[in-house]
Every structure is written in structure tokens, then in C-alpha cells.
Amino acid sequence: MNEPLELDLRGELLNHNGSVHGGVLGYAADDAVAFAAGTALGPALLTAGFTIGFLRPARGETLRAHARVIRAGRTRVVCRCDLTTVDSDGTPTLCAVAQGTVMAAEPARDSERDAP
């Protein structure tokens, strides 16, 4: 993924301490990783594993999630995502890093489609 995923930060995305909620950071990282992995696997994919390390409280005007492919195999791709916040004067601050493993989705077999 060459362009980062960006999210304008607003009150409902913050935790009780005034920083971006960890779930928002995780969602943004997982989404950015999926887009990056899609460049290698195509659109039919699933997250197989995901970790995130929070480095500092995320505060700012914009959240930016920038993911890139680290290794692409035939059915799995490993990506890294840097999460930064950007303040009002445009200064970025790294607040979390994530790694995701994404796998190609297998088409459902006929017997699975009919299962209740």
C-alpha cells in the first residue's frame, strides 16, 4: 500500500484519557495491512494473525496507518504497519507498530454453503 489510510480524529474515537482508543488503532492497522496484502494476494483474503505494540498515547488531529508488504508467498503475506498521529502543524508522531499475516481465502465448498 503506497498511500496511508487516514482517519480524522474526533471525540468519540478517544478513550477516557483523551488519546485514541486502542481498538481504533487496531482497526486502522488491520485495514491497512489487508489493503497492502491485497496487492500481492488479490481481494479474497483473511487475516490469519495480528499483533500490535502501543508505543505512546496517540494524540493529534489525524491518524495515519501506513502498511507495506514484508514478505509475500503464494498463499500468505506478512505486512508491517506504522501508525502515526499528525498534529495541527503537520508534525507526525509514531504511536504504534503492527504486524499482520494475511492468507488467501479459499472458496467455500458446496457442502459448506448448504450447512445450517
What confidence tens digit (pLDDT) does each residue in 17-75 have? 999 999 999 999 999 999 999 999 999 999 999 999 999 999 999 999 999 999 999 99
Q: Is 89 a member of any domain? A: yes
The count of domains in the chain is 1
Query: In which band, very low, low, confident or very high, does the pLDDT at 106 lie, cut at 50, 70 and 90?
Result: confident
By the 8 A CB rule, do 53 and 29 touch?
Answer: no
Query: In which band, very low, low, confident or very high, does the pLDDT at 92 lie, cut at 50, 70 and 90?
Result: very high
Q: Is 109 a member of any domain? A: no
Q: Is 116 a member of any domain? A: no
Q: Is 112 a member of any domain? A: no
Domain residues for 17? 5-104
Q: CATH number, domain at 57?
A: 3.10.129.10
